[in-house]
Chain A
Amino acid sequence: MHTKTIVELAIGLAQGQFSSVELTQHYLARIEKYDPLLNSFITITPEHALEQAKQADQLRAKGQAHQLTGIPFAHKDIFCTKGIKTTCGSKMLDNFVAPYNATVVDKCNAAGLVLAGKTNMDEFAMGSSAENSYYGPTKNPWDLTTVPGGSSGGSAAAVAARLIPAATGTDTGGSIRQPAALTGLTGLKPTYGRVSRYGMIAFASSLDQGGFFTLSAEDAALLLNVIAGFDEKDSTSIDTPVPNYADSLNKPIKGIKIGIPKEYFAEGLDAKIAEKIKAAMQMLEKEGAIFIDISLPTTSLAIPTYYVIAPAECSSNLSRYDGVRFGYRAENPKDLEDLYKRSRSESFGEEVKRRIMIGTYALSAGYYDAYYLKAQKVRRLINNDFQNAFKKVDIILGPTTPTTAFKLGEKAQDPVSMYLSDIYTIAVNLAGLPGMSIPIGFVNQLPVGMQLIGNHFCEQHMLNLAHHYQQLTDWHKQLPEKF
């Protein structure tokens, strides 16, 4: 059962091959058996899941089920789930039971998805390896000595090991796409403003966006239908119609113009990954796709721009964690200042403190213009590059990551080396564009991903191209032997 996609599972449920309770029990048993090897879950919710599964079966018996009713699912522990512990991977929220649901959670519940648990992540979404969690690192199911990527590493590992058919993630600088590439999954980050951020714990408010990991582009289209849409409760939510993303999956790709940025194939990219991408391009060319060379000259500026803007916004967002109204409070504070300082210092991890420090420095008096304001201007130049490219092409294609999964601990001591691994994903967040990563093969037995970038609100073009590629290949059907 667990090798099936959501589309296949939905058919199984509709045809009565198994009930939602049986399906949920199957996944819960796999989680219990295999998660100790991966540490991909922070909280598992078996009673809640089985209760939802039972209700799903009842709805189905009455003929009131939708396509996704009764499919098991997991949420990254950054989404508030009412009555369920929501930690954001941090000691600061270890005692936090969310009093409300994120809009994404409400939408998934309304679609009938069954919540099996909350997945592990880099603390407050800051990291590219899932090593920065208070709850310990998550391992990559393809090689347990390597990272699954981050910050949504728990969701990626859980789906890759088939402990769950899909899971949500969030992506601020690549935190869905990079883990998808390192674990052989389809990972989608929608356009900024496409998916509500209400109840999604904030890291960098102008960059964060919720999305998910699935086994196929077809599944991704179904889930995007569920979570996309305007939300009054999110003041950055964009009110623009949501197409049915499943409708355009099979549109012919003949004549589709795909841009290849020369800067993405320069030094720094593993030559074997470049080969895999060229092979994927040849396949798409046979189907009639037209490749056009483009240039994104500001590519190398994305990292310094991001690592000023994101920490600046994070330092502001994390100022709400003060030990007063919720979350961790230090014991026996001697005065209010001590309460603030020790509550924060005793419960935030290293990377979080580092980014708060970077952000606070960049925003402080005398430095705001030189760093933050300057970075915002360069951000516009980066966006302009993409807009110029989209005048000539429909989609941009390139690598998702410069290397395959690195070893646990390899980059943990050198933050800048970790930051540099975000080179292909980060600019997409700065420009607010949608992006996805799909599996295109293996190098040294580790998965390799390819990134597709669309123009604003053009997710359907990326999904269409990805679906065609997945009809021609079966990389997305591979699962790690151990699981």
Chain B
Amino acid sequence: MRAISIAAGEIIKMAVNKQDVINVANLARLTLSETDIDKYARNLSTIFELASQLNNINTDNIEPMAHPLDVHQRLREDIVTETNQRDLFQQLAPLTEAGLYLVNKVVE
């Protein structure tokens, strides 16, 4: 992926290329066809060009806002409050055995 450096007031055009798309799809655990890869490269480039408008905005000394009301995570007592509903929830699972969720073998 190409790195970006930002100079004050400069708008950076960020082109997202095919290799970027392949890397991101892998991180996102998605498979894309060849035509999809080209399409996403174009889509993502357009969207990140839109996003690059933000680079022009002075945010010196501005705290990031993760929560609309700046509220902090509420804590609770560290005691058990839920009941075990494994059997109920596992009715939804594609494949289970002895209370375990089954997937392809990972360790040879």
Pair B92/A340 contact, Cβ less than 8 Å: no
For window 81-105 of B, CB contacts with A under 8 Å fall at 85, 88-89, 91-95, 101, 103-104
Nearest CB of A to B8, in Å: 14
Pair A336/B51 contact, Cβ less than 8 Å: no
Measured CA separation A456–B63 after assembly (Å): 20
User: Is B73 an interface position by the 8 A CB rule?
Assistant: yes
- Which residue of A339, A357, A378, A456 contacts B25 across the interface (Cβ within 8 Å)? A357
Residues of B contacting A429 in the complex (Cβ-Cβ under 8 angstroms): 68
User: Is B79 an interface position by the 8 A CB rule?
Assistant: no
Pick the interface stretch among A210-218, A323-331, A465-473, A475-483: A323-331
User: Is A79 an interface position by the 8 A CB rule?
Assistant: no
User: Is B6 an interface position by the 8 A CB rule?
Assistant: yes
Measured CA separation A380–B63 after assembly (Å): 7
Pair B65/A326 contact, Cβ less than 8 Å: no
User: Is B9 an interface position by the 8 A CB rule?
Assistant: no
Residues of B contacting A326 in the complex (Cβ-Cβ under 8 angstroms): 89, 92-94
For window 50-79 of B, CB contacts with A under 8 Å fall at 50-55, 57, 59, 62-69, 71, 73-74, 76
Pair B68/A383 contact, Cβ less than 8 Å: yes
Closest Cβ neighbor of B56 among chain A residues = A301
Pair B30/A353 contact, Cβ less than 8 Å: yes
Pair B68/A96 contact, Cβ less than 8 Å: no
User: Secondary structure at chain A's binding surface: helix, strand, loop or mixed?
Assistant: helix
User: Is A354 an interface position by the 8 A CB rule?
Assistant: yes
- Which residue of A232, A235, A334, A361 contacts B48 across the interface (Cβ within 8 Å)? A361
Residues of B within 8 A of A (CB-CB), count: 54
- Assuming the A-B contacts A324-B103, A341-B29, are A358 and B66 also in contact, with contact meaning beta carbons closer than 8 angstroms in the complex? no
For window 197-244 of A, CB contacts with B under 8 Å fall at 206-207, 232, 235-236, 238
User: Is A36 an interface position by the 8 A CB rule?
Assistant: no
Most buried by B among A315, A339, A377: A377
Residues of B contacting A329 in the complex (Cβ-Cβ under 8 angstroms): 94-95
User: Is A307 an interface position by the 8 A CB rule?
Assistant: yes
Pair B59/A381 contact, Cβ less than 8 Å: yes
Pair B27/A415 contact, Cβ less than 8 Å: no
Pair A235/B69 contact, Cβ less than 8 Å: no
For window 19-48 of B, CB contacts with A under 8 Å fall at 20-21, 23-25, 27-32, 40, 43-44, 46-48
User: Is B3 an interface position by the 8 A CB rule?
Assistant: yes
Residues of A contacting B50 in the complex (Cβ-Cβ under 8 angstroms): 303-304, 307, 416
Residues of A within 8 A of B (CB-CB), count: 71
Residues of A contacting B89 in the complex (Cβ-Cβ under 8 angstroms): 99, 325-326
- Assuming the A-B contacts A307-B50, A378-B54, are A360 and B28 also in contact, with contact meaning beta carbons closer than 8 angstroms in the complex? yes
User: Is A308 an interface position by the 8 A CB rule?
Assistant: yes
Pair B57/A325 contact, Cβ less than 8 Å: no
Pair A304/B85 contact, Cβ less than 8 Å: no
Pair A360/B94 contact, Cβ less than 8 Å: no
Pair B68/A431 contact, Cβ less than 8 Å: yes
User: Is A75 an interface position by the 8 A CB rule?
Assistant: no
Measured CA separation A433–B104 after assembly (Å): 46
User: Is B7 an interface position by the 8 A CB rule?
Assistant: no
Pair B64/A377 contact, Cβ less than 8 Å: yes
Residues of B contacting A252 in the complex (Cβ-Cβ under 8 angstroms): none
Closest Cβ neighbor of B81 among chain A residues = A232
- Assuming the A-B contacts A307-B47, A353-B30, A366-B1, are A206 and B103 also in contact, with contact meaning beta carbons closer than 8 angstroms in the complex? no
Residues of B contacting A361 in the complex (Cβ-Cβ under 8 angstroms): 16, 20, 24, 44, 48
Pair A335/B73 contact, Cβ less than 8 Å: no
Pair A304/B54 contact, Cβ less than 8 Å: yes
Nearest CB of A to B87, in Å: 10
Measured CA separation A342–B31 after assembly (Å): 7
Residues of A contacting B69 in the complex (Cβ-Cβ under 8 angstroms): 192-193, 238, 432, 456
- Which residue of A95, A305, A364 contacts B54 across the interface (Cβ within 8 Å)? A305
Residues of B contacting A99 in the complex (Cβ-Cβ under 8 angstroms): 85, 88-89, 91-92
Pair A377/B71 contact, Cβ less than 8 Å: no
Q: Could you show 30 A-B contacts with beta carbons less than 8 Å apart?
A: A96-B92, A99-B91, A192-B69, A193-B69, A206-B67, A206-B68, A238-B69, A301-B57, A304-B51, A307-B50, A308-B54, A315-B28, A325-B92, A325-B101, A336-B106, A342-B31, A345-B30, A357-B24, A358-B47, A361-B16, A364-B1, A364-B23, A364-B27, A366-B1, A366-B3, A370-B6, A371-B48, A376-B65, A381-B59, A431-B68
- Closest 6 A/B residue pairs (Cβ): A432-B68, A376-B64, A377-B59, A380-B65, A329-B94, A326-B92
Given A322-B29, A335-B106, A342-B31, 14 more pairs with CB closer than 8 A: A232-B76, A305-B54, A325-B89, A326-B94, A339-B104, A344-B29, A344-B30, A357-B21, A357-B25, A357-B28, A377-B62, A381-B57, A432-B69, A456-B69
